[in-house]
Amino acid sequence: MVTVALTAGPAHSCTRYLWNTNSRGVYVSRTMDWPESTEPKLTLFPRGMTRHGGEVGGHLVVKDNPAKWTSQHASLVTTVYSIGTVDGLNEKGLCGHALYLKATNFGERDPSKPGVQAGLWLQYLLDNAATVNEAVAILDDIQVVMVEARGRAATIHLAIEDVTGDSAVIEYVNGEKVVYHGEQYRIMTNDPPYNEQLELLSKLDFSRPSRDTPLPGNVNPRDRFQRAAYYGELLPEPKSEREAIASVLAIARNVSVPFGAPYGEFGIYNTEYRTAANLKDLRYFFELTTNPSVIWVEIEKFDLNEGAPVMVLDPNDIGLAGDVSAKFEKVTPPPF
């Protein structure tokens, strides 16, 4: 494990919900939960970005064979402490989310494989893959390397989805990669590992939900997983993007932890923000829980060509509302 003073892993109580069963499009939402601000920035990376997978905030943390690559695809992401990516999508409609999983173990370092520090694992996939199939295929080209900061290891697992509705949940447990690949894998929270979450869900019948259906109401990952499954079965066919995004955000809000809730002693923290995405139309929505408005960004309004500037927006502005694509500003040097 590499100890770094500048980064930390995603929180203990995040939730991802994918809606790929409606006839209008593919939509996804997630919550980000953490005991302090992760200093999120909405960041637009053009194609042709040169990456160094072994660096964190200018510090070399993977010294033996760090991965280096040039991005094939532009991406719009939410960063964490400006040194890694925890959420976002690329110009091809591949979308991804990093969530906390205590059981994560990336295994012993194999210097024969290029190493990518965990905070750039998702960015590596968004840079180099256009579909879930492509992302799964390149997983073994690199080795994810654990980093630790502020007393917490970056024990993360990933959920990814693409514009066709394909999905994958990727975990490293006991040093072994485990991939759950298929459009049926629509929900992800945290511990226990995914196979155990699926086993718990199989014991419940949410196929015909009603007002009398017993439903767990706590904020632990098991209960949130089951609540997301239940409410997902209640979603009506959307007539518009507005209705579709409202639906997936409603599920994200239902599994959110109230701001300031004193759950820290249990390893469960308040929801800092929620995101949603329309994968077909490349529209990304962001809702900071301390701001009154949802904002969104349209990737196609930016210059995505190699050599174009990296563009950043700080969402911690109470005056932001609606389409904020024009409010991004150039940043030099890029965060990573």
Question: pLDDT digit of tens for each residue in the chain (336 aa)?
Answer: 433 333 333 335 799 999 999 999 999 999 999 888 899 999 999 999 999 999 988 889 999 999 999 999 999 999 998 889 999 999 999 999 999 999 999 999 999 999 999 999 999 999 999 999 999 999 999 999 998 756 678 899 999 999 999 999 999 999 999 999 999 999 999 999 999 999 999 998 887 888 888 898 888 999 999 999 999 999 999 999 999 999 999 999 999 988 877 666 666 788 999 999 999 999 999 999 999 999 999 999 999 999 999 999 999 999 999 999 999 999 999 999
Quick one: tokens of 240? 């518009």
Determine the pLDDT at residue 263: 65
Q: With contact defined as beta carbons under 8 Å apart, do 277 and 91 qualify?
A: no
Determine the pLDDT at residue 269: 82
Determine the pLDDT at residue 296: 98
Report yes or no on 214 lying in a domain: yes
DSSP state of 248: H
Report yes or no on 199 lying in a domain: yes
Helix axes 221-232, 241-254, angle to 10 degrees: 150
Determine the pLDDT at residue 210: 84
Q: Classify the phi-psi angles of 163: left when phi > 0, otherwise alpha if psi is within -120 to 50, otherwise beta.
A: alpha
> What residues contact residue 318 under an 8 Å CB cut-off, 6+ apart?
291, 292
Determine the pLDDT at residue 144: 98
Number of domains into which the chain is organized: 1
Report yes or no on 335 lying in a domain: no
pTM of the model: 0.94
Report yes or no on 336 lying in a domain: no
Residues 149 and 124: their CA atoms lie apart, in Å, by 21
**Structural domain span for residue 202:** 2-330
Determine the pLDDT at residue 93: 98
Residues 129 and 126: their CA atoms lie apart, in Å, by 6
Determine the pLDDT at residue 102: 92
Determine the pLDDT at residue 147: 85
Report yes or no on 235 lying in a domain: yes
Q: The domain spanning residue 307 has which CATH number?
A: 3.60.60.10
